[in-house]
Amino acid sequence: MLKRIVMIILLGGFGIMMLTACNKKSSKEFIEGKAAELSNVYPTEDLQDLFEKFPDGFSIHSVDLCDYKEGEGYLFQSIKLEGDSETKSITGTIVWEKITIDDKKKNHTEVLYKGEVIYQNGTIQLKDSTANVNIKHPTLLLQKFIINKESLSDLKMDRKSYSYETGTADISYFLTDSVLNNYMEVDENTQLKMVIYIRHNTLENKTFSYTVDIHHGQNSHAEIISGGKINAVR
């Protein structure tokens, strides 16, 4: 009987500890604090400097959804960059697609361009200089936009969430920022929405993996940066 009582007390205490930990991770203070750790890389004017933060290399995925027209379609661009720790080169691929929507609301994808890119002289460039295609953003938002504890705390929060199933979190804000609005090619007074997604291993301080997603209506620009455990903190 005594053993059973002790076991119940222990299990109850463990349950309370787990509940407390989960409640902490779902708090604005915790999620915004983890989002503020993006200050380690936002901004990094020269992407080559990321090798100092991630000695084992890193990856960046830039995604643009633009020229959205209701019921008609939109353009989609995806750029995937890999920072090679041995060669210190940053190379990758680009895909331009046109998505059209038919009368039955079915999407149709036309690949406009597929090719390779390289980062050099501060910009993302096509390896094929003869290709008749433009890169939507030759420089990343990562290279010019400031994210830190102070800047986030000054913003109007939209919502926050923590998933007990996946151990991931996200937090979103409404903002008007000259750098951001210029990057998104909208009027300087236009309000945008920024969502920051944080992976499970990042919340557990095992790796560095975030998504910064900027929305203007249906158009959006997202950057996913991933690397090992950050080497240093600014």
Domains of the chain: 30-227 (2.50.20.40)
Contact (CB, 8 A) for 124 and 117: yes
pLDDT of residue 234: 42
Q: Which two tokens stand for residue 175?
A: 């903002």
Angle, helices 2-25 vs 28-35, to 10°: value is 50
- Tokens at residue 217, please? 């209506």
* Length in residues, the chain: 234
Q: Is the pTM of this model over 0.85?
A: yes
Strands 219-227 and 156-162: unpaired
CA–CA gap between residue 157 and residue 147 (Å, rounded): 14
Report pLDDT for 23.
Answer: 60
Contacts of 108 (CB under 8 A, 6+ apart): 99, 100, 101, 102
Model pLDDT, residue 233: 43
The pLDDT, as a whole number, for residue 1 is 58
Encode the chain (234 residues) as per-residue pLDDT tens digits.
555 554 555 455 444 444 444 567 889 999 999 999 999 999 999 999 999 999 999 999 999 999 999 999 999 999 999 999 999 999 999 999 999 999 888 999 999 999 999 999 999 999 998 999 999 999 999 999 999 999 999 999 999 999 999 999 999 999 999 999 999 999 999 999 999 999 999 999 999 999 999 999 999 999 999 998 777 544
